[in-house]
Amino acid sequence: MLEQLGLISSYWSKAFGANKIFSARTEKIPNVDLNLEDYTMLYRMVENGTTPKVKIISTSKELGEMPTFNTIAQIKGVEKPDEYVILSAHFDSWDGGQGTTDNGTGSLVMMEAMRILKKFYPNPKRTIMVGHWGSEEQGLNGSRAFVEDYPEIVENTQAVFNQDNGTGRVVDINGQGFLNSYDYLSDWLSEVPQNVKKHIETEFPGNPGGGGTDHASFVAAGVPAFNLSALDWAYWNYTWHTNLDTYDKIVFDDLKNNVILTAILAYKASEDVDKASRERRIMPESTVNPRTGRTMRSRGWPSVRKPNRDGTSSR
Ligand SMILES: [Zn+2]
C-alpha cells in the first residue's frame, strides 16, 4: 500500500489567480492548496505518465487548542456612561493572504473612526465602544461570547455598526427588522455629507440578519445592530478567503468615506435624546425564495446562539 504523505488540492475561487483557503480537509496528513494553473499542470503531467515529483516545504505547525481574544476599547460617556454605541468588526481572518478585506479593512474603518471621535468628540454623551471580535470565522464566536458575557451592556446598547464585506464604499443599510429603524437611522444619516451617502440604498424595516457577520449576534439579542454593507469590488471571487486578500487591494478613498460615515453615525446615535426603539417587525409567515420561486416557511426572528468556546467550528 502506498504511504500517504500529504494531500494536494486546488479550490479555485473562479477569479484569475485566486484560490479559496479554508481549513484542511485532512486530520493526520498536511493538506496543501496549489494554485489552479500549477495544479492543472501537475494533473496533466500525471495523466501523461511523466511521474512528477513535488517537494513541499511547510513551516506551519499544529499547536493544538489556542486561545482567541476580543479586543475592546471605549471612550467613556459623560451623560449616559452606562449606555453604549458599539463599532464592530472582526480581527481574525483566514490565512491564505493577509486577511486584508476580511476583515482588515473593516477593522481599519472602526479604529480610524475611534481615533477621530476621540479627537473631536472626547466627551460623548453615551459610551462609545469598539469591538474587534475574535473567532468570527469559526461561527461569530467572539461577538456571541460578548453578548453572553455582558448582558448589562447588551441591554443598554443604543446601536451597533458593523462592517465586514471588503474595501468598497458603503452602499447598503438595512433596518434589520426593527420596526422604527427608519426614524432614527434617517435622523442619524441626515448629518452625513451628501458625497459620502449618495450611493447608499436603505431598506426599512428590512429583515434581521441571521448570521454571516457579527451584527447578527446582537440582532438575535434584540439590539438595533446594523451592517454597513459595502460595494463588493468582486470581493466574493477575488479576495474573500483567498490567497489574494492582500494589502494592495485596499481602496483608501472608499475607506475614508466609510470612516466619515461611521464616525457621524456613532456621534448621532450617541447624542440622540431618545433610546433607539427595539420594537421588532412582525415576521412574515412565509417567504418566496427568489431563486427557486418556492414558498418557504419563515424562520422567524433569529434566536441567540451560544458561542463555541472550545475551538471547534459551530457554523
Ligand atoms: Zn469577515
Ligand 1 centroid–CA 166 distance in Å is: 8
Q: How confident is the model at residue 58 (pLDDT cuts 50, 70, 90)?
A: confident
Ligand 1 centroid–CA 213 distance in Å is: 6
Asked if 125 and 286 count as a contact pair (C-beta separation under 8 A), the reply is: no
Ligand 1 centroid–CA 163 distance in Å is: 8
Ligand 1 centroid–CA 82 distance in Å is: 29
Ligand 1 centroid–CA 265 distance in Å is: 21
270 has pLDDT over 50: yes
Ligand 1 centroid–CA 133 distance in Å is: 10
pLDDT at 247: 96
pLDDT at 233: 84
Ligand 1 centroid–CA 228 distance in Å is: 13
Mean pLDDT of all residues in 48-57: 92
Mean pLDDT of all residues in 268-297: 90
Ligand 1 centroid–CA 206 distance in Å is: 21
315 has pLDDT over 50: no
pLDDT at 63: 86
Ligand 1 centroid–CA 231 distance in Å is: 15
Q: Which helix (H) or strand (E) holds 75?
A: strand 71-75
pLDDT at 194: 98
44: Cβ–Cβ under 8 A, 6 or more apart, which residues? Answer: none
204: Cβ–Cβ under 8 A, 6 or more apart, which residues? Answer: 174, 175, 181, 182, 185
Asked if 263 and 251 count as a contact pair (C-beta separation under 8 A), the reply is: no
pTM of the complete model? 0.93
Which residues of the chain does CATH 3.40.630.10 include? 71-271
Ligand 1 centroid–CA 212 distance in Å is: 8
The residues that bridge with 80 in the sheet, in sequence order, are: 126
Asked if 32 and 8 count as a contact pair (C-beta separation under 8 A), the reply is: yes
pLDDT at 27: 86
Q: Could you report the per-residue pLDDT of 204-245, keeping only the tens digit for each?
A: 999 999 999 999 999 999 999 999 999 988 999 999 999 999
pLDDT at 311: 59
In the chain, pLDDT over 70 holds for what percent of residues? 98
Name the CA dihedral angle for 237, 239, 244, 249, rounded to a multiple of 10 degrees.
Answer: 130
pLDDT at 314: 46
Ligand 1 centroid–CA 174 distance in Å is: 18
Q: Which helix (H) or strand (E) holds 88?
A: strand 80-90
Q: Could you report the per-residue pLDDT of 24-35, keeping only the tens digit for each?
A: 888 888 899 999
1 has pLDDT over 80: no
Average pLDDT of the chain? 94
Mean pLDDT of all residues in 113-132: 98
Q: Could you report the per-residue pLDDT of 152-161, keeping only the tens digit for each?
A: 999 999 999 9
290 has pLDDT over 80: no
Mean pLDDT of all residues in 269-290: 92
Ligand 1 centroid–CA 125 distance in Å is: 30
Q: What's the DSSP call for residue 160? A: E
Taking the C-alpha atoms of residue 77 and residue 117, their distance in angstroms, rounded to an integer, is 12
The class (CATH top level) of 71-271 is: alpha beta
